[in-house]
Amino acid sequence: MDFQQSDRMKKLPPYLFIEMDRKKKAAIEKGVDIISLAIGDPDLATPDFIVEALYKGAKDKANHQYPLGPGLPKFREAVAKWYQHRFGVTLDPKDEVVALIGSKEGIGHLPIGVLNPGDVCLMPSPGYPVYHAGTLFAGAESYFMPLTEKNGFLPDLDAISADVLKRAKLIWTNSPNNPTSVLMDKAFYTKVVAFAQKNNLIVANDAAYTELYYDGKKPVSFLEVPGAKEIGVEFHSLSKTFNMTGWRVGFAVGNKSIIKALADVKGNLDSGVFNPIQYAGIAALEAPDSVSENIRKIYQERRDLFAAGLKKLGWQFQIPQAAFYFWIKVPNGMSSADWCGKVLEEAGIVVTPGNGFGAEGEGYFRMTITVDKARLEEALQRLAKLK
Ligand SMILES: *Cc1c(COP(=O)(O)O)cnc(C)c1O
């Protein structure tokens, strides 16, 4: 059969991680001892008590049917309690919380619920590629807000023209940020809320990394700002906080009309998160803070070690404030793609070219500290030998 993929699919940039994975596999086939610092996927195991909760749930035949709806009431209550405990934000579990099959799923689907063809969606560049993909699938247009060193890697809201703003309906923000690891503080979120109110925008903040922070400096929630819940939602994930990337469970919270739009899209396309996985999610959300503290401790040691090593190489980067990414300027003026090819060939290290996160990422590359300290040391030794 001869067919062409849809025009929408053809508009997509190549999905970065698949491309990197292909290159990595080719090198492994050649027998290279590859260190992968490319993908944001924790190497650590899901804590045992979470696995136990899944097991217990799976043994109960009441859980074997379609889960349906916006998530188990108990799951949504656990989310609301966690938000209260962690951020001091009050949520109504009835209509201000929806369970997601990983936050990526919800991020991809939200635009279908709120955007029309011709609408503009504002999003960061570099940025998580799903904001753009979801916007394209909704038939809407992406407008990229450059994250540059000059602006401290925060979007410059004042630089967006009135023309664009007239057609804009949704703005994505992402803090703690992937790929830059920069944080938005309450003052910045306050600006975002005022900007959205003035321009009649929906705000969607992607907050997948709020629990992976350093030096004891806790990131805030967008919803802590007065007025935020009137115009916005926040996406959250258990993936990075509890080493649960493979489980596919996350949630969106905030404005109930926006949550309903997302839940309505999902109601037509999927049938919810497997109940035992939601029970595992409840166990994670109700866990004592020491669980995420122990995970943070591991990343803190890795971050400190890696930052010190990269400094010695004389490379230019900001020390990550949260998340597990180093966003680094290509040291020798090469293109991002050529530089990453060189690092793979000469050092056997897979890193991610910055332009994969959008045009503004050109000239940068990203390294992830999702390997143990011994492997990070080995990576630093190899990088020091690059010609
Ligand atoms: C990992 C990640 C997500 C999605 O994680 P899920 O596993 O789908 O919950 C969302 N946003 C950013 C910025 C991420 O890096």
Residue nearest to atom 4 of ligand 1 (CA): 104
104 lines ligand 1 (CB under 6 A): yes
Atom of ligand 1 nearest to the CA of 104: 8
- Ligand 1 centroid – CA 16 distance (Å): 14
Sheet of 141-146, strand order: 97-100, 250-254, 232-237, 202-206, 168-174, 120-125, 141-146
- Ligand 1 centroid – CA 245 distance (Å): 8
366 lines ligand 1 (CB under 6 A): no
Atom of ligand 1 nearest to the CA of 250: 9
List the beta strands (DSSP E) in 70-167. Answer: 97-100, 120-125, 141-146
Query: Quick check: 113 and 283 in contact, CB under 8 A?
Result: no
- Ligand 1 centroid – CA 271 distance (Å): 20
- Ligand 1 centroid – CA 206 distance (Å): 8
Atom of ligand 1 nearest to the CA of 245: 7
Please list the residues that pair with 100 across neighbouring strands: 250
- Ligand 1 centroid – CA 180 distance (Å): 14
Q: Ligand 1, residues 15, 79, 240: which to mutate, most atoms within 8 A of Cβ? A: 240
Residue nearest to atom 11 of ligand 1 (CA): 208
Query: Quick check: 155 and 145 in contact, CB under 8 A?
Result: yes
pLDDT value for 18? 67
Tokens of 351: 């890193």
250 lines ligand 1 (CB under 6 A): yes
Residues 162-191: tens digit of each pLDDT: 999 999 999 999 999 999 999 999 999 999
40 lines ligand 1 (CB under 6 A): yes
Show the domains of the chain with their CATH numbers: 7-45+290-384 (3.90.1150.10), 48-288 (3.40.640.10)
Please list the residues that pair with 365 across neighbouring strands: 328, 353
Query: Quick check: 171 and 201 in contact, CB under 8 A?
Result: yes
- Ligand 1 centroid – CA 103 distance (Å): 6
237 lines ligand 1 (CB under 6 A): yes
177 lines ligand 1 (CB under 6 A): no
Element (H, E) at 377: helix 373-384
Q: Ligand 1, residues 206, 222, 241: which to mutate, most atoms within 8 A of Cβ? A: 206
Query: Quick check: 358 and 144 in contact, CB under 8 A?
Result: yes
Q: Ligand 1, residues 41, 103, 368: which to mutate, most atoms within 8 A of Cβ? A: 103
- Ligand 1 centroid – CA 143 distance (Å): 21
Q: Which residues contact 145 (CB under 8 A, 6 or more apart)?
A: 122, 123, 124, 125, 155, 156, 157, 159, 160
Q: Which ranges of the chain have pLDDT less than 70?
A: 15-20
Element (H, E) at 352: strand 352-353
List the beta strands (DSSP E) in 207-260. Answer: 232-237, 250-254
- Ligand 1 centroid – CA 325 distance (Å): 13
Instruction: Say how far apart CA 196 and CA 172 lie, in whole Å.
Output: 11
Rounded to 5°, angle at Cα 308 from 303 and 314: 125
Q: Ligand 1, residues 173, 235, 237, 352: which to mutate, most atoms within 8 A of Cβ? A: 237
Three-class SS state of 315:
coil
pLDDT value for 21? 72
Rounded to 5°, angle at Cα 152 from 213 and 218: 20
Would you give the distance in Å from CA 292 to the centre of its chain? 18
Amino acid sitting at position 270: D
352 lines ligand 1 (CB under 6 A): no
Instruction: Say how far apart CA 50 and CA 284 lie, in whole Å.
Output: 6
Instruction: Say how far apart CA 43 and CA 45 lie, in whole Å.
Output: 7
178 lines ligand 1 (CB under 6 A): yes
From 376, 197, 202, select the one nearest 303 (Cα to Cα): 376
What are the percentages of helix, strand and coil residues in the chain, rounded to 5?
Answer: 50, 15, 35
Query: Quick check: 218 and 226 in contact, CB under 8 A?
Result: no
- Ligand 1 centroid – CA 208 distance (Å): 6
pLDDT value for 16? 60
